[in-house]
Chains A and B, each alone.
Chain A
């Protein structure tokens, strides 16, 4: 039955969505594309109800209650939580150290060579392309892969996680710092440079006053992401809560897993709230 509309002159017009046919076509194309994807991902929901899997999951989940609360385990949990927080903070600090010079390198409005008429320096343009490529490689490899590699160089522990976070997040922050500085009003910095001031002064008095809030806000957001990432670093042996979780999962100890999951939940929600509050205050 198609919907109808009573019009003032008494006739009834059939309403039809004029875009219906193309939409139907695109949906069909999507479904056709979906089929090979489902095959590739071996999408078999029936496996969820396989008796063996159900039994393993059921046994594990039934261990969740009650969560493990023995004093020994809680001390361990507390230490891992502090370690996770410290890893995220130290990792983002390293990332900022890496990102600031690269981000500044990307900022065209600080280029002295492009002042005045003419095409500007080839050297600077080449350097910018190099920096862009370096940043893409740094953030293109996931942080867990970096962590897995660093664990082999520096041994098990938080150092590998911190370095991995520093490198991946350095790549992301550098790119975004460059974009924020580029999109800020270039006129103040430009006029400072044209009046003969140095690049540092042009950055501090020309660009930063307009861009600082956004830069800080994005860094806080990345800290929140880093916290979530460092929670799982332990799965490849890089310390923190993940390592505890990995051990409990491997031993199918549901009670410990439940305690750790609750800690995750509290930690992530708290970081979320804190970061949102900070960013709202700055916005």
Chain B
């Protein structure tokens, strides 16, 4: 490693500083105003209205129902995405029988398309296609996550050693069996860990998809804020926080189990 600072490093640091300063200037952010006493007081007053959280039993039951719905959306969408992602990753990785270059390019294009459209945009489209409700949210998350997982799965497939599958295929096993017993055991732990990681992301997204009418906790938060029922909104935000922390813990535990 070289001692001292290289010219390229200095140049890059300068460019980053210019970009940051330019961004703040373009957005005309009243930075000084943000840290002034008046705004701080206003923000504190606003935050104060969320306490104490509304713990009325009727409302708590609704929050619980919405939380379950959110959990179901995140789990189902991750599961669907893992299945579809695996199906698309096989041609995208260009292994296991799909020799055609065309199939590979098409699969990669589909994955990129699915991935680069954000979940929330998918959700607005799916609300049109499937009506308001959690089903639209599940589809939207599944579509975006398929793009992400498909790409990660394909990368894992490309990096897996081809030996076992080739040995099986060479001794006469059909392509499916060669994949199931030769390649899948090598990539399965990595695939599972990617899927768990996306589950952690999806519980966060599932909590907010309700903003555009796709079910779950987000819808409840949006209504309570629109009706200026801040104490109810406080309850929903606490529920979201609890859900994300619980899912993170569950995912970490599953990862450890899987070893």
Chain A residues with a Cβ under 8 A of chain B: 3, 17, 34, 36-38, 40-44, 47-48, 50, 53, 56-57, 60, 82-83, 85-87, 89-90, 93, 136-137, 140-142, 144-145, 148-149, 152-154, 158-159, 162-163, 209, 228, 231-232, 235-236, 239, 242, 245-246, 249, 261, 264-265, 268-269, 272
Instruction: Contact check, A153 vs B46: say whether CB atoms are below 8 A apart.
Output: yes
- Shortest distance between the CB of A97 and any CB in chain B (Å): 10
| B30 touches which of A42, A44, A159 (Cβ 8 Å) | A159
Is B94 in the interface zone, CB < 8 Å from A? no
Interface size class of B (residues with CB under 8 A): 35 or more
- Shortest distance between the CB of A222 and any CB in chain B (Å): 13
Is B101 in the interface zone, CB < 8 Å from A? no
A44 to B133, CA, bound (A): 11
| A249 touches which of B73, B124, B131 (Cβ 8 Å) | B124
- Shortest distance between the CB of B11 and any CB in chain A (Å): 13
- Shortest distance between the CB of B251 and any CB in chain A (Å): 14
Instruction: Contact check, A40 vs B23: say whether CB atoms are below 8 A apart.
Output: no
Interface residues as binary, B130-144 with A (CB distance below 8 Å gives 1, 0 otherwise): 110111011000000
Instruction: Contact check, B240 vs A231: say whether CB atoms are below 8 A apart.
Output: no
Of all chain A residues, which has the CB nearest B8? A281
Interface residues as binary, B53-68 with A (CB distance below 8 Å gives 1, 0 otherwise): 0000000000000001
Chain A residues with Cβ under 8 A from B135's Cβ?
A: 41-44, 47
| B116 touches which of A41, A163, A264 (Cβ 8 Å) | A264
Instruction: Contact check, B138 vs A53: say whether CB atoms are below 8 A apart.
Output: no
- Interface-forming stretch among B84-92, B157-165, B191-199, B207-215? B207-215
Chain B residues with Cβ under 8 A from A50's Cβ?
A: 131
Q: Give the contacts of B171-190 with A (CB-CB under 8 A).
A: 177, 181
| B46 touches which of A152, A242, A264 (Cβ 8 Å) | A152
Instruction: Contact check, B211 vs A144: say whether CB atoms are below 8 A apart.
Output: yes
